[in-house]
Structure 1
Amino acid sequence: MGRLFIFGLGYTAGQIAEALEKCGWQVDATGSKGNFDFGDEAAVREALANASHLLSSVPPDRESGGDPVLERYGNAIQGRWIGYLSSTGVYGDTEGAWVDESAPTVTSGASGRRNARAEVDQKWLEIGARAFRLPGIYGPGRSALDRVREGKARRIDLPGQVFSRVHVDDIVAGVVAAIDDDAPPGVYNLADDLPASGNAVIEEACRLLEVDPPPLQSIEEAGLSEMARGFYAENRRVANGKAKRLLGWHPQYPTYREGLSSLL
């Protein structure tokens, strides 16, 4: 079995680590739940030298827009299998049109906001990474069911607005498949089969929990954060055919309905 080093042992990367550890892999990681301090350069470089595989889930720096991993350890991570957890936000707003891996990425998002993720995504691809572009991630403890239970669910009155999503277990399956099959470097969209509005997902969660859905609100009435407003300003459908063809991957939860039902 191999040895994986993860930069940023967060929600999704933690699930990937757990899956590989069950298969006999040794996994080291930075992050609050990892066994390495990102700033302990000597220790991290020694661990990297012994790693057969590398995965980064560290987002761009909020202030500079650069990638902390590449800036500090870029000269120590090549020469092995590399994976990067990216975002389908790199495609920007497509007004609801479908996008696949051949679609161009945009370096400025809604209202001219800098899309640093697109810039960083390209840098990882240039060093031979597998960039897994992920839409809205949900799973245990992080789903519409939890938002409804906590009274934080919103239905926003934006007719025609849709987006893709993916269950965290399906991300794990896609990344593990890419590792097992030594998938060629490049981009892989890991998204479910049914892009849908956020309202449809909230309504399904309410149906499963047997409660009334929250009222429809405008963006202004909802009092959303700037980040949330940026999310609702984009509208796209993400195609997953390449991952199915090259990785033999098929989502266990092809729509939000199966995903929410499993979490219930």
Structure 2
Amino acid sequence: MSRNLFIFGAGYSGLAVARARSAGFDIAGTTRSEAKFEALRAEGIAPHIFDGELTPEVVQALQQATHLLISIAPGESGDPVLNAAGETIAHNMPNLGWIGYLSTVGVYGDHVGAWVDEAGECRPVSQRSKLRLQAELAWQEIGRQTGLPVAILRLSGIYGPGRNAFVNLANGTAKRLVKPDQVFNRIHAEDIAGAVWHLAGLGRGGVFNVTDDLPSPPQDVVAYAAALMGVEPPPEIPFETAELTPMARSFYGENKRVSNASIKRAGYRFRYPDYRVALDAMWQAGNWRNGRARSPMKAG
């Protein structure tokens, strides 16, 4: 039988998963705009429109899918995929064997810098993280109803080619905000993809933190990237006086160190266990701008 992955939300993380596909997989994915169809086709993804309602074409693709990945954020009215496709997923996907849901470590809320793992208390602070936790529970309920393994992948700050400190330094948007004792975990997009395919290959359900080994102050990442580029890092700015959007400021209201021990016990080995390894690799390959290799000596 052919193997088919359907991705709801073929954006940055979804594309990374598609690019790392296991041999023998066909992939379909959704976007909200037909203008992105050609770009998805260029990545080997059969494109479909999804903007909260199922089209007949999406229903047909779902009926063929053996694996399902959700990479769309919930809204105030709940998870848009479950709202539109919950009945189809539960009762009209005869080939489906595994479901993956990309969530966030934001569901843990603030732990005042302490380590937290999947058994830790979830006490989300922001509304977006509260909605994520509700969506996680809803997808786990789908698993109970169908008997299918549902893997919840809690992701930390996502970066990779086109989305990293080099890009921010090159375009002049990098900042070194300093808040004493503040740390963040991160995850390279290729390790999101690696974790998805690893869990899918095992047919494994459960909750997994997909995050790096080295929760670190954000200003250290910018300084490290600047040193690799051979440019001066931006000046340090005290968090209290920084001009930030409410959303950006809210991220600094949560401080925790997130453990990835569980997915390691499941057999996954991170390609980029910390930001230094990842930045070194992207700079050496020259693919930090958009994933295509280019001379790493040109920072501008």
Common topology (TM > 0.5):
yes
> Is 1:75–2:87 an aligned residue pair?
yes
Task: Quote the Cα distance in structure 2 between the aligned partners of 1:151 and 1:158.
Answer: 21
Task: Quote the Cα distance in structure 1 between the aligned partners of 2:137 and 2:29.
Answer: 23
Task: Quote the Cα distance in structure 1 between the aligned partners of 2:128 and 2:152.
Answer: 22
Structure 2 gap ranges (5+): 41-46, 91-95, 144-149, 284-300
The residue aligned with 1:120 is: 135
Secondary structure of the structure 1 residue equivalent to 2:28: strand
Task: Quote the Cα distance in structure 1 between the aligned partners of 2:164 and 2:88.
Answer: 37
> Is 1:50–2:64 an aligned residue pair?
yes
Q: Quick one: which amino acid aligns to residue 117 of structure 2? A: D
Q: Percent identity?
A: 43
CA shift, 1:65, in A, is 4.8
The residue aligned with 1:29 is: 29
User: In 2, are the aligned partners of 1:189 and 1:243 still within 8 Å (CA)?
Assistant: yes
Task: Spell out structure 1 runs of 4+ moving beyond 3 A.
Answer: none
The residue aligned with 2:125 is: 109
The correspondence for 1:256, drawn from 272, 275, 279, is: 275
Q: Quick one: which amino acid aligns to residue 250 of structure 1? A: R
In the TM superposition, 1:1-264 aligns within 5 A as 1-20=2-21, 23-31=23-31, 32=33, 33=36, 35-38=47-50, 39-61=53-75, 64-78=76-90, 80-106=97-123, 108-109=124-125, 115-128=130-143, 129-183=150-204, 185-219=205-239, 221-246=241-266, 248-264=267-283
Task: Quote the Cα distance in structure 2 between the aligned partners of 1:105 and 1:119.
Answer: 11
Shift of the 114–252 alpha-carbon distance from structure 1 to 2, 3 Å rule, reads: closer
CA shift, 1:190, in A, is 0.8
**Deviations 1:80-112, CA, capped at 9 Å, x for gaps:** 310001100011011111111111222x415x7
CA shift, 1:148, in A, is 1.1
Point out the more displaced range, 122-131 or 48-57.
122-131
User: In 1, are the aligned partners of 2:157 and 2:185 still within 8 Å (CA)?
Assistant: yes
Structure 1 gap ranges (5+): none
Report the TM-score, using the length of structure 2 for normalisation.
0.81
Task: Quote the Cα distance in structure 2 between the aligned partners of 1:80 and 1:249.
Answer: 20
Aligned residues: 257
Report the TM-score, using the length of structure 1 for normalisation.
0.92
Task: Quote the Cα distance in structure 1 between the aligned partners of 2:82 and 2:231.
Answer: 47
**Deviations 1:48-104, CA, capped at 9 Å, x for gaps:** 11111100000012xx25110011101112353100011000110111111111112
